[in-house]
Structure 1
Amino acid sequence: MDSLSVASARSLAGAATTRARCDTRGRATPGIRTTVPVRVGTRARVPGPPQWSGSAAAAPSSSTRAATWSVLSVRGGSPLGGRLGFRIGGGAARPVPAVRAKADRRAKDDLIDDDILRRAMDMADDDFDDVASEDELRALDMLDETDGAIALDDDNDDDAVSVAGLGDDYEFDDDDDAGAGAVEEEEEGGEEGETEEDEMEEGVALLRELFEYGAVDVTEWIELGEDEDVEVSGIANDSRVVLGGDVYVCIVGEKMDGHDFALDAVAAGAVAIVCERPIDGLGVDVPQVVVPSARAALPRLAAAFYGNPSASLTTVGVTGTSGKTTVTHMVRSILDANDVRCGVIGTTGYSLDDVRLTPHGGVWEPEEKDPTKDRAATAPGWLAPYRGKYDVPTASPDALQCQQLMAGMLDNGARAAAMEVSSRDLARGRVDCCDFDVAVSTNLSGDHLDDHGDVASHRNAAAELFRRLTDPERQRAVINLDVSASEDGEKSFDAAAYFSEAASAVPVVTYATQEDKADEADVFVERADLSLFETAVTIRTPVGTFDAITGLVGEVNVSNVAAAVAAGIAMEIPLDVIAEGVEAMESAPGRMELVDEGQPFSVVVDYAQTPEALKRAIESVRKTGANNVITVFGCGGDRDASKRAEMGRVADEYSDIVFVTNDNPRTEDPYKILDDIVAGFRDRIYELEAIKEEALFPFLKDMYLIHPNARHETMKLQNMCRRYVIVDRFYAIRAAIAMAGEDDAVLICGKGHEDYIVVGTKKHWFDDRVEARDALQKIPGVQEAGIDTSNLPWGRRDRAGSGAGNVLDA
């Protein structure tokens, strides 16, 4: 066997999974060089591994992936069958490994004869001039097909190798003459004057091979001859984050066209441009690769470059109108209980345990000092600066960032990832080439019709996640059988049958909480006892029934718990471990999150920003047994103004006490926003008999808009109807909490996990949870000092109602 083949076998035997590193801009990169690559001459190649087929959205099939990317482990246990379409087990939890890494090297033992494999592995450590037997060569070929890291070409006279997992960090033995991360090509008669700079370095991909392994169709190669190639050390689709050696992909967006920024990308160090049309002015030194769709090419190129990291993770995708954030965190809790490190990708950020990631997969670190780090609360008037904090992206990760985030999670030791997948993400191709093992649906309602136009389009977009499940040996669908209620109270949006049909290629695990679905569901919540501070459930599954008490509150979380349990069943996690994960569950940040300082009433912070979400949150809290529901909310500026009055109507109809306050006003007049919200219930209040007799002027305004002589009367009238308008959210939260009595519930909606407020174009530190906790700690002292906080303004009990002694402003 020639020296090059044995060296290649050695590199294959020692290859590791992608090890993403963090560069100067927080990007996950596959251990690449930092120098700007130069154009290189053509390298001899061999036929690549099997290519992807189908649409750009499709990840590699299971058979293709085995040859291209990773090893698919073989599931143990009995043949699958039964009500779920497979047999999960008897009435008790089975002691089986729950989550099996798709790139588990041990799976080779199921595919290759042990003795031949062992000899092949040993052979890699022998001298280069050893002669291999036919069995050993066959084992090496099978290793190649299994790992997909190096493709050997016995028929190629140049004895070249082709790196398939372009993003992998190839590890070599200490005595390997090739050096870490570089496969040395020992060709006789090599070009005169060839230097180390001309050789492939660690993690650097050849441009043509990147397109080959990504199976990206190319319309035209410009300024790149057939005998030329370019070394690429990264991918970027934003000219502002281009690093030297990147290939820049021109994405055509709704408002901007990436082609317009190609020159900026080249100036920043891009060595090649992927575009949909030729771009003038780039010069002969910058190759252009013209493709039919740059948007469709991006996920394929990214998955190829980063080694398809989702194939090395047990990946759970959660779609639905609401509940996605909560369910992903619940899934992580169950996986944590099963000793599987799970990262989360969603609207509250990107995290792995206590590690936070940048949108490009690097480990986040503050770039400046946080001046509010040790403060217990903010300050009135939006005075607290917002610096040195983890700024959660407002948009979902794009197709490139999805690959970078998963590579970054792998680098930090993750074995699984739970990811929010909205219908918008699916429609825009953001999760193309992500390989999901389990797809979960939460619910489907009309909240996002502005993105899709109608219910049918919304449903079709969400169903795409289930159509991508094609491997019945590995992939599972988890579908909610409950029927969501429409705004008029009638049941509608029954998407279960539609999603089940979309997932017809794989086994389906169903779950439900509604009584009429009890016999049909695989996972069913037989009992849910709601209270202000916890929820007790009894859940029946195909492998047994268990009881659990969780700190999650609200009726909405009952269905979310069922979804997470069904996902655990789909991953074959033992039932006792699932139960442990349920009891360990904590609220997702800002999602029906309980703030508990030992008070005799509950305080819940939620992200509800639409009329339907607000109604769902209020009704959910009311069903915990609250005497009064006190709702604090607002609406963001520079956003859909048409929903403001409806938000006001919902809060007025379903709450006992309402505080209308500021959200992120941005560039709008905050007082105008409050007025738009109040329009949803102003007429009803003004027509109340008691109010008609007292009110001589419009009083549903912030008192600072009222003439000083009328402020006392304004507060009196707002106290009478229990509808308050306070522009400063700092005061509104404290007033609501101070007004709460035993067994009441204060629901603070609109911002959820956000730890800032945007005024104009500037962010200021403001966190509803921090403010609520501070109020809970300080207000008891105010009340013990003899201050009456049951009405506004606060005053001494002996002078309550007089309007004197207002300490809310103190």
Structure 2
Amino acid sequence: MLFQELLKSVEVHAADGPQNTVLTGITYDSRKVEPGFLFVAVQGFKHDGAEYIPQAVEKGAVAVVAQKAVTVPPNVAWALVADSRQALALMSASFYGNPSTNMRMVGVTGTNGKTTTTNLIASVLDEAGRKTGLVGTIHNRIGARKLVVSHTTPESTDLQELLHEMATEQVSDCVMEVSSHALALHRVDGCEFDTAVFTNLTQDHLDFHPDMQSYLEAKQALFRKLAEPGAKRGKCAVVNADDAYAGSIIEAAAGVEVYTYGIKTSADVRAEDIDVSARGVSFTVTGKWGRCPLDLRITGLFNVYNTLAAFTACAAMGIPVEVIKKALEGMPGVPGRFELVDAGQDFAVIVDYAHTPDGLENVLKTAREITTGKLITVFGCGGDRDRTKRPLMGRIAAGYSDYMLVTSDNPRTEAPLDIIRDIEKGLEPVAENNSYTVEPDRRRAIQLAVRMAQKGDVVVIAGKGHEDYQIIGTQKYPFDDRSEAAAALGALQA
């Protein structure tokens, strides 16, 4: 594609050099530049991409886009734009042929439940005979082929390249987790969504968003995209009516069809006769598409909400209720989401990704309901992230647990004991004497919890879920809560 053609997708403030240069690729990472590439200098949080323009040119970049004046050789084309990150997204979509317009795009956003909801929707689409793409936290998928991930929502160039690959392989539907970071950083600009799903909004990412209003506005952006000028018709929004922010999301989706779901309030789709057990949950879906009893292999009230979101989205897309029912009831669960680690022991061990106050409360509330003995919780909080949620999570854990082991999550560049002290601020007012132990070594904490458990108890290991690593300093080390729990159970039985 010619550089001058690609520039038509963005607002250009100034440009010079050979604008009819042919481009063979596009990147924001100077290390990935190859001869014939366009290099987009993105302003990062720690580094300014403009600093790497000389390196990019040396490696063969024939064009540069930046948001401030640049100096390049006369044979290199350049352009200045207001926001190079947004320009990267729009130009990437154009470079790869706007692949999102060639498939049905379903975006799922919210603080909690994105991974489970996207996997449930993808499972229904698979059952309906559609070739499905999935973009998410655990893995990306094209049909049956799984791909590794680095972000919940990939950087815009990587995302458009992935969507292009999906379109090339005849994917008909793509289901994507859409994080607030991705929305705020324009990673999904250039994507045309057909269905947007809102799960909930609770405190998280306040290390990135200045406040909850900014966090909400990032989420609203996905729903505003549905009604952008020139967008195709037949779009819809699916909104959790029980969430306090439902009205704000519906307002952002003005002009498109809105379907609501819930348990407590009036909604288009509701759940009745809910029965939660350790092995699953059953309930009846009622509302716009009639009555449909479901007996699921996933459990917890929070998964009733996730299932309602998936049911509503799929029914709104025209998939028959009987197909939806078969897919949802056949779903074995999502890795690291209320996942049982079973080695034949007479107590339950559950691993869950819960790393927000609301997520932790949802998991512990369910665990409390299914235990006939004590609830033992192993948890910590991530380093270099929102510090204000640490005492909140401590207070929640103390409110539901009989005993807690407060440990490290991904401490990153913070000292683990400093993070734990923040958590203890929430424990001190509510925790009884001797109701928790501080053990910074996560492996040791899991071992202690398993050794402590008796018949009928439930051990919840929260925070990392499907992750198979622990970030200490700036390094990733192999670590999987599920494997560690299985090893501790094996040692106990031996």
TM-score (norm 2): 0.92
2:210 maps to what in 1? 453
1:591-639 CA distance string (max 9 Å, x none): 2223334444332211222333322321132233553221001223344
> What is the aligned counterpart of 1:607 among 331, 337, 353?
353
Matching residue's letter, 1:255: K
Within the candidate set 771, 790, 798, 2:484 is matched to 771
**Aligned amino acid, residue 434 of structure 1:** C
DSSP-derived class of the 2:97 partner:
coil
1:631-650 superposed matches below 5 A:
631-650=377-396
Q: Distance in 1 between matches of 2:78 and 2:396?
A: 54
Q: Supply the distance in 1 between the matched residues of 2:424 and 2:126 (Cα, whole angstroms).
A: 45
- 1:121-164 deviation digits (Å, cap 9, x = unpaired): xxxxxxxxxxxxxxxxxxxxxxxxxxxxxxxxxxxxxxxxxxxx
Is the contact made by 1:587 and 1:594 (CA closer than 8 Å) also made in structure 2?
no
C-alpha distance in 2 between matches for 1:740 and 1:239: 52
Q: What are the superposed Cα offsets for residues 383-442 of structure 1, whole Å, 9 maximum, x if unpaired?
A: xxxxxxx5x425642222221121223344432211111233222211111111110011
Separation in 1, partners of 2:233, 2:413: 53
Alignment partner, residue 502 of structure 1? 252
SS at match of 2:308: helix
From 206, 228, 236, the equivalent of 2:2 is 206
Contact 1:278 1:288 in 2 (8 A): no
In structure 1, the gaps of 5 or more residues are 1-204, 358-389, 484-493, 692-720, 783-810
Is structure 2 residue 167 aligned with structure 1 residue 410? Answer: yes
| 1:512 CA displacement | 0.7
Shift of 1:640: 4.2
Name the CA shift for 1:601/1:343 in 2 (closer, same or farther; >3 Å). Answer: farther
1:730 and 1:415 map into 2 onto residues whose CA distance is: 43
Whole-angstrom distance in 1 between the partners of 2:232 and 2:42: 35
Question: What does residue range 521-560 of structure 1 map to in structure 2 within 5 Å?
Answer: 521-560=267-306
% identical aligned pairs: 42
> Match of 1:730, SS?
helix
Q: Distance in 2 between matches of 1:501 and 1:568?
A: 22
- 1:300 pairs with 2:13: no
Aligned twin of 1:329? 119
Which AA in structure 1 matches 2:14?
E
Relative to structure 2, which stretch is displaced further, 291-300 or 572-581?
A: 291-300
1:480 maps to amino acid: N
Mapped to 2, the partners of 1:353 and 1:743 lie a distance apart of 41
**TM-aligned CA distance change 1:251 to 1:497, over 3 Å:** same
Tell me, yes or no, if structure 1 residue 345 matches structure 2 residue 345: no
Structure 1 pair 626–477 and aligned structure 2 pair: CA distance change class (3 A): farther
Instruction: Provide the residue aligned with 2:46 in structure 1.
Output: 255
Q: Hey, what does 1:431 align to over in structure 2?
A: 188
Q: Is the 8 A contact 2:122 2:132 kept in 1?
A: yes
Distance (whole Å) between structure 1 residues aligned to residue 352 and residue 288 of structure 2 = 33
Counterpart amino acid of residue 536 in structure 1:
S
Give the secondary-structure state (helix, strand or coil) at the position aligned to 1:663: coil
Q: Does residue 574 of the first structure (1) align with residue 327 of the second (2)?
A: no
Moved more, 238-247 or 417-426: 417-426
Name the CA shift for 1:285/1:414 in 2 (closer, same or farther; >3 Å).
same
Moved over 6 A (4+): none
Equivalent residues in 2 for 1:75-114, closer than 5 Å: none
- Cα shift at 1:749: 0.8
CA deviation profile, 1:422-470 (whole Å, cap 9, x unmatched):
2332222111111111100111223344544344333333222112223
Structure 1: how far apart are the matches of 2:67 and 2:413? Answer: 36
Q: Residues 233-272 of structure 1: matches in 2 within 5 Å?
A: 233-272=24-63
Offset of residue 295 of structure 1: 2.4
Post-superposition shift, 1:505? 1.5
Distance 1:207 1:746, change over 3 A: same
Give the distance between the partners of 1:299 and 1:352, measured in 2 at CA: 21
Aligned-pair Cα RMSD in Å? 2.4
* Residue number in structure 2 paired with 1:183: none
Describe the SS at the equivalent of 1:252. Answer: coil
Tell me, yes or no, if structure 1 residue 589 matches structure 2 residue 335. Answer: yes
SS of 1:446's equivalent in the other structure is: coil
Structure 2 residue aligned with 1:149: none
Aligned residues: 491
Structure 2 residue matching 1:544: 3-state secondary structure: coil
* 1:553/1:594 contact within 8 Å kept: no
1:341-371 Cα distance to aligned partner (Å, 9 max, x none)? 32221222323355333xxxxxxxxxxxxxx
- Mapped to 2, the partners of 1:499 and 1:472 lie a distance apart of 20
- Tell me how far 1:684 sits from its aligned partner: 6.0
Match of 2:240? 480
| 1:778-801 CA-partner distances (Å, limit 9, x unpaired) | 42x24xxxxxxxxxxxxxxxxxxx
Label 1:653 to 1:418 Cα distance change in 2 as closer, same or farther (>3 A).
same
**Counterpart-to-counterpart distance in 2, 1:284 and 1:437:** 43
* Residues 309 and 555 of structure 1: CA distance in aligned 2, closer, same or farther (over 3 Å): same
| Distance change in 2, residues 1:303/1:446 (3 Å) | same
Is 1:744 the counterpart of 2:457? The answer is yes
| Contact 1:554–1:624 (8 Å) recurs in 2 | no
CA distance, structure 2, for counterparts of residue 296 and residue 676 of structure 1: 36
Q: For residues 19-64 of structure 1, give each alpha carbon's deviation from its aligned partner in whole angstroms, at most 9, with x where no partner exists.
A: xxxxxxxxxxxxxxxxxxxxxxxxxxxxxxxxxxxxxxxxxxxxxx
Tell me: CA distance 1:670–1:508, structure 2 relative to 1, closer, same or farther (3 Å).
Answer: closer
Alpha carbons 1:637, 1:673 under 8 Å: kept: yes
> Contact 2:86/2:187 (CA < 8 Å) preserved in 1?
no
Q: Could you say what secondary structure the match of 2:404 adopts?
A: strand
| TM-score normalised by the chain length of structure 1 | 0.57
8 Å CA contact 2:152, 2:179 repeated in 1: no
Distance 2:383 2:23 in 1: 43
- Matched residues in 2 for 1:576 and 1:500: separation? 28
Find the counterpart in structure 2 of residue 158 from structure 1.
none
Instruction: Name 1:760's counterpart in structure 2.
Output: 473
Which one has the largest radius of gyration? 1
Q: Distance in 1 between matches of 2:214 and 2:182?
A: 14
Q: Which structure dedicates a bigger proportion of its chain to strand? A: 2
Matched, 1:314 2:104: yes
The 1:413–1:734 alpha-carbon spacing in structure 2 relative to 1, beyond 3 Å, is farther
Distance 1:244 1:476, change over 3 A: same
Report the residue type matching 2:241 in the other structure.
Answer: L
Contact 1:220-1:289 at 8 Å conserved across structures: yes
Retained in 2: the 8 A contact 1:472–1:506?
A: no
Deviation at 1:562, TM superposition (A): 0.4
Superposition deviation, residue 531 in structure 1: 0.5
| CA apart distance, 1:567 | 0.7
Q: 1:447·1:612 contact (CA, 8 Å) conserved in 2?
A: no
The structural deviation recorded for 1:237 is 1.1
SS of 1:260's equivalent?
helix
SS at match of 1:356: strand
> Which residue of structure 1 lines up, in the alignment, with residue 177 of structure 2?
420
451-460 vs 285-294, which moves further: 451-460
Q: Which residue of 2 aligns with 1:723?
A: 436
CA distance in 1 between partners of 2:11 and 2:425 (Å): 55
Q: 1:302 to 1:598 in 2, by over 3 A?
A: same
Q: Structure 1's 507 and 642: CA in aligned 2 closer, same or farther, altered over 3 A?
A: closer
Contact persistence 2:376–2:403 (CA under 8 A): yes
Are the aligned partners of 1:472 and 1:505 in contact in 2 as well (CA < 8 Å)?
no
Match of 1:664 in 2: 410
Unpaired segments ≥5 residues, structure 2: none
Structure 2 CA distance for partners of 1:284 and 1:573, relative to 1, 3 Å = same
1:321 and 1:279, CA in 2 relative to 1: closer, same or farther beyond 3 A?
same
The 1:529/1:571 distance shift into structure 2, 3 A limit, reads same
